[in-house]
Amino acid sequence: ARKFFVGGNWKCNGTNEEVKKIVSFLNEAEVPSEDVVEVVVSPPFVFLPLVKSLLRPDFHAAAQNCWVKKGGAFTGEISAEMLVNLGIQWVILGHSERRQLLNESNDFVGDKVAYALSLGLKVIACIGETLEQRESGSTIEVVAAQTKAIADKVSNWDNVVLAYEPVWAIGTGKVATPAQAQDVHYELRKWIESNVDAEVASKTRIIYGGSVNGANCKELAAQPDIDGFLVGGASLKPEFVDIIKSAT
């Protein structure tokens, strides 16, 4: 069985005070144990040490990005080595906002995933189609190509969680229907089975992201190939706790 996974992606939000408030409602929440659900929250880099120091021990902090190779003369970047040095275990890579706004290519994301894994980090690798791609019927082709760029460079999938986040559902309030999400998750698992291996396909968590909230999470979580969520807006609010609870 795949352990349910819930990630909170805070994106570029928060002040010191707000971050402390979010951590305190998380710390007080009664949620299923770590054996049932794995929870990570991903604040902006500058708040990572603060969050790590305050956060309950059964939740973990994740970075939202890191540099594609060993650190050095790359102004403005944060290296995977630095995350390791800070004791951060998780990193989100290939988020659609970075693919779209910062032109991160499939290849570049594949390189980032491989490098982060090589240092022992665990990776939430994001994929997903745009509205235009969905409407033209190329959803599966697009997410397969994004997954292939990762699969080409990664041999051990133990530390990878794949996050399917349709771009049209992110921050729009237009959540994918449980059937739409299940359909893509199923196809992705099948793709991994045919192109990587059956055991990897059955073990790898494929989580859904895009306008997940306290009200729609239960029905999504009930789908057989949806193994959790990557939550944006709702992860800044107490309803994130309800999303964590949808694990059971």
Which residues are near ligand 13P by CB under 6 A? 9, 95, 165, 170-171, 209-212, 230-234
Q: Are 129 and 173 within 8 A, CB to CB?
A: no
Cβ at position 110, least distance to ligand 13P in Å: 19
Q: Is 165 a catalytic residue?
A: yes
Phi, psi of 138 (to 5 degrees): -105, 20
Cβ at position 165, least distance to ligand 13P in Å: 5
How many Cβ atoms sit within 10 Å of the Cβ of residue 66?
26
CB-nearer residue toward ligand 13P: 7 or 110: 7
Cβ at position 104, least distance to ligand 13P in Å: 14
Length reported for the chain: 248
Q: Which of 97, 104, 129, 165 is catalytic?
A: 165
Residue nearest to ligand 13P (CB): 232
CB-nearer residue toward ligand 13P: 126 or 151: 126
Distance of CA 6 to the CA centre of its chain: 8
E strand intervals along the chain: 4-9, 37-42, 59-63, 90-93, 122-127, 160-164, 205-209, 228-231
CB-nearer residue toward ligand 13P: 104 or 201: 104
Active site residue ranges: 95, 165
